[in-house]
Amino acid sequence: MKICYVYAHPEPKSFNGALKDTALVALKEKGHEVKLSDLYAMKFDPVLKASDFPERKNSEVFNPFFEAIKASKTGAFAPDIREEMEKVKWADLLIFQFPIYFTSMPAIMKGWIDRVLAPGFGFNPVTNSAYDTGLFKEKSSMLVTTTGAPKEMYSEGGVHGDLNKHLEAITHCIFEYMGMKVLPSYIIYEASSISKEKGAEEFEKYKQRLLGLGADVV
């Protein structure tokens, strides 16, 4: 299987960094092909801007939606966008790993989605039934995320509410909108205060989850 692993955490020595390293080793041991997008290490620019489109449809007024539609037909995106698009096109499965920031993803990953999964490339903009006509129907996706707060705070009735419901803004409104099959999210709670022993257990659990990837992907 071909896997694009999109990762966002600013500290390589963090729990998230070790979790990502565990994933890469496990996936390669299983025989999967993996391409990593380590967004902070890449210094990926999350800002959608006019220079993303070298061949402008309208040079007077910048409308990113219409510029992306044109660029999706011609391939005229900025080089950093094209490079990430090639990884997406290549992949069978996209795994997104990040820490929870205000019940969602870090800005750098949201910027990756805004710039890379562009209209015309990531979804069909000319239909009202994009969920049924998504352009990525042959692909699957999975979220891997960590929280600082305990599970009780991110559960139904907890002060933050059910984290899985918060994540539907990503899993449903982005990934399913684009036609992807969404695998169950993998969530590790209280990562900021986890003990070394508990951390090792979590790494092993995550490894086993990845080693079990197979028929559930496509």
Report, as residue numbers or ranges, the catalytic residues: 148, 154, 160
Query: What is the rounded distance in angstroms from the CA atom of residue 192 to the CA atom of residue 146?
Result: 9
- Do residues 67 and 57 touch, judged by C-beta distance below 8 A? yes
DSSP conformation letters of 109-175: HHHHHHHHS-BTTTB-TT-S-TTTS-TTTT-EEEEEEE-SS-GGGGSTTSSS--HHHHTHHHIIIII
d(CA 131, CA 152) in angstroms, rounded, equals: 32
Find the largest Cα–Cα distance for the chain.
59
C-beta of residue 46 within 8 angstroms of C-beta of residue 112: yes
Q: Are the C-beta atoms of residues 116 and 81 closer than 8 Å to each other? A: yes
Residue 9: both structure tokens together: 């955490």
Q: What is the DSSP letter of 188?
A: E
